[in-house]
Amino acid sequence: MTPLPEHVVKTWISGFGIGVPRGATAPDPGSVETSAAGLTPPLVVKAYGPGLLHKSDAGAVRLGLGSARAAAGAAAAMLASLDAQGIVPDGFLVEEQAAPGVEMIVGAVRDPAFGPVLLAGLGGVWTEVLRDTALRLAPITEDDARAMLAGLRGAALLDGFRGGPAVDRDALVKVLLAVSEAVASLGGDWTEFELNPVICGPDGVTAVDARLIGSIGANGTTGAAPVPAAPFDRLFAPRGVAVVGASTRRPNFGNMFLGFYRAAGFKGRLVAVHPTTAEIDGVPCVPSLAEAGPDVDYALVAVPAAQCPDVVRQARGVPFVQVMSGGFREMGQPELEEELLAAAREAGVRLLGPNCMGVYSPAGGQTFIGGEPGGPGRIAVVSQSGGLAGEVIKVGERRGLAFSKVATVGNSADVTPAELLRYLASDPDTRAVGLYLEDPRDGRGLFEALRGLGKPAVALIGGRSAQGGRAAASHTGGMVSDSRIWPALAEQAGISLVTSQDDLIGVLDLFDLHGARTAPGTPEILVIGPSGGASVLAADVFDAAGLRLDALPEAAREALRGLGLGAGSSLANPLEIPVGPRGNPDLVRHAVAAILAEGAFADVIAHVNVQSFFTFGDSADPLLAYTRSVGALQAETPGTRITLVVRNAECAPPGVEDAVREIARAAGVPVYRSMEAAAVAVAAGKRYAARSVDGAA
């Protein structure tokens, strides 16, 4: 695509209410003086045409010209310089020079997955030097626009700096909203758009330069109609399952999955597909998927990639077919994946994968992992990695989590994460959703589905810098990458991003236990536990997570003194309090109750040094008694989220940590091994709670 002439772009954006300088065009230097006769100096002259994408670099901009005649002279000199570079301009744009002010950049790119992405930041030369910018997916709201400006490191420049006047922030917000509307109207025939600089002053803002790579046409939409949720009930609770690929001679993945379903006690009809044998591993066989029977709702295909399309064509009448096999787009074979998708369309089936492990749902009998499944729960997971999903299930269940529905989608050739999210939004069995994504395929659909989810969600993103090296014609294009789009999406959709599998599990744990509590999302927390050093470090960790350790009210400190506290330590937040094998297991409970009676804390983090219980004691009973007391505290304060951190849990004898987790979870208290893990989860819980309040308002 080629850039449009600057004056054409400015005419277009002025129709959206964006102010631009008065100006005129001239085909050659000799016509500039006449064209500029009605303009008020100082003037600016710019050449436009092929080869002038970056006009300043080519010497195609002259500022501060005192008259129309001076502008004509500048254009003539510019033409000679450009001719020496082999550049032939189409014409010249002469404009009134804008008054000085704070220079901003406002731009957008059309991301191949997420659609229009808006960028705002410090402009002019500062764009390249500081790269101080904020992103949002378009269209944006006024709150989004104001949050973008507030999040800039240089935001103080907009409010007046060292005696300078504050800029008209409302006018700048209107520019952001107008650009959002403008790029939404373009459809798909553009790649990059940029206003740089937008000069901001106390009396308004003016876009003095404009660039659009693409074409202008009213072929876009400001918002697509909502896509209805697909009926995935039979995917997670099939009446029958057929496994394609099991062998009578050499055990393979097909045999493994037959074993998984048998070990899980699948109560529906289980069949293997084999052309010549009547039974494999005690499971009856049918010759092909075409003969699987009307009660088979799910077929699992584990044959070489090249054979998969033919197998899928036989699946007519089976609602869902999962292709475990790899060797498609992820291995440089996009044509084979297209053939597989065409086969699914021909058969009238929905395709899960390829390159995925399948579905896990204890309530519906679905599994893709060995052993007895856990009990049904309230946590759903959508993952593009089958291996990681299996780890989340196994580790999560080891920690006491229970799952409603887990779907691995691999390459997402047909069924996408967005589709599954729309389904989970209305699933009564799901309270919280976890995501592991690499290439969502339908990024815009994912964004809309997350905004409409209505349930707490947390995402772990792999390959976040995948698009970071793309070539870009504008500053905006160069600064928009996958690694920046995901945080923008999370902010707008109200979800949390994490950077590790452990934090994904930890946040899901907190969402499951605390997601339905009415505690607000305000940033204050109370940290209480033994060891001054651990408390100081905790303060640093929680502060870095954006949480605030407010001082205790004087009335609360007085109540704590009544409990015998404060003699050897300050009554501050974090609050140091003796917790150990010889201490009163209810002391933390009483202390927190005394504090909450004098002032609300939305979250309380109680921490304990497990090592001390077994260095200075010989029984787990005091630690378990303390845990029960923390559980009782949660029951007595349902409007506060209580979280337990068991530091140094590896120092406990085998089974003790499991017992602590079991007691705490039964009381609705999530448990973490470190302050860092707790901080990530508590911050996510607050983010969701704040979003819920804003959404309700």
Taking 60 as the threshold, does the pLDDT of residue 321 lie above it? Answer: yes
φ, ψ at 658 (rounded to 5°): -60, -40
Three-state DSSP class for residue 37: coil
Taking 90 as the threshold, does the pLDDT of residue 439 lie above it? Answer: no
What's the confidence (pLDDT) of residue 491?
Answer: 94
What's the confidence (pLDDT) of residue 468?
Answer: 38
Q: How far apart are CA 545 and CA 498, in angstroms?
A: 12
* Cis peptide upstream of residue 638 (ω within 30 degrees of 0): no
What the block records as the tokens of 493 is 């959709």
What's the confidence (pLDDT) of residue 559?
Answer: 94
Query: Which domains, from first to last, does the chain contain?
Result: 22-96 (3.30.1490.20), 102-214 (3.30.470.20), 251-349 (3.40.50.720), 356-456+495-516 (3.40.50.261), 519-696 (3.40.50.261)
Taking 70 as the threshold, does the pLDDT of residue 126 lie above it? Answer: no
Strand-pair partners of 606: 528, 644
Question: How many residues belong to the chain?
Answer: 697
Q: How far apart are CA 1 and CA 498, in angstroms?
A: 37
Residue 294 burial (C-beta neighbours within 10 Å; 0-12, 13-18, 19+): exposed
What's the confidence (pLDDT) of residue 29?
Answer: 95
What's the confidence (pLDDT) of residue 697?
Answer: 35
What the block records as the tokens of 664 is 């705490």
Average pLDDT across the chain, whole number: 92
What's the confidence (pLDDT) of residue 493?
Answer: 95
Q: How far apart are CA 25 and CA 583, in angstroms?
A: 84
| CB-CB contact of 61 with 75 (8 Å) | no
Residue 275 burial (C-beta neighbours within 10 Å; 0-12, 13-18, 19+): exposed
pTM greater than 0.85 (yes/no): yes
Q: How confident is the model at residue 127 (pLDDT cuts 50, 70, 90)?
A: low
- For residue range 492-545, what is the model confidence (pLDDT) as tens digits? 999 999 999 999 999 999 999 999 998 999 999 999 999 778 888 989 999 999
Taking 60 as the threshold, does the pLDDT of residue 275 lie above it? Answer: yes
| CB-CB contact of 418 with 446 (8 Å) | yes
Is the dihedral angle over the CA atoms 149, 151, 153, 155 positive or is it negative? Answer: positive
Q: How confident is the model at residue 477 (pLDDT cuts 50, 70, 90)?
A: very low
What's the confidence (pLDDT) of residue 324?
Answer: 95
- For residue range 566-588, what is the model confidence (pLDDT) as tens digits? 776 679 999 999 998 988 999 99
Q: How far apart are CA 153 and CA 672, in angstroms?
A: 33
Q: Which of 179-188, 237-246, 306-315 has the lowest mean pLDDT?
A: 179-188
Taking 50 as the threshold, does the pLDDT of residue 479 lie above it? Answer: no
- For residue range 142-194, what is the model confidence (pLDDT) as tens digits? 999 999 999 999 999 999 877 789 999 999 999 999 999 999 999 888 999 99
Q: Which of 171-175, 359-363, 471-475, 672-676 has the lowest mean pLDDT?
A: 471-475
Number of Cβ atoms within 10 Å of the Cβ of 316: 12
Taking 50 as the threshold, does the pLDDT of residue 628 lie above it? Answer: yes
Which amino acid does the sequence have at 519?
A
| CB-CB contact of 285 with 277 (8 Å) | yes
- For residue range 56-92, what is the model confidence (pLDDT) as tens digits? 888 999 999 999 999 999 999 999 999 999 999 999 9
Report the percent of the chain where pLDDT is more than 90: 82
What's the confidence (pLDDT) of residue 129?
Answer: 59
What's the confidence (pLDDT) of residue 466?
Answer: 47
Q: How confident is the model at residue 696 (pLDDT cuts 50, 70, 90)?
A: very low
Q: How far apart are CA 575 and CA 526, in angstroms?
A: 8
Q: How confident is the model at residue 476 (pLDDT cuts 50, 70, 90)?
A: very low
3-state secondary structure 580-592: CCCCCCCHHHHHH
Taking 60 as the threshold, does the pLDDT of residue 344 lie above it? Answer: yes
What's the confidence (pLDDT) of residue 50?
Answer: 86
What's the confidence (pLDDT) of residue 418?
Answer: 96
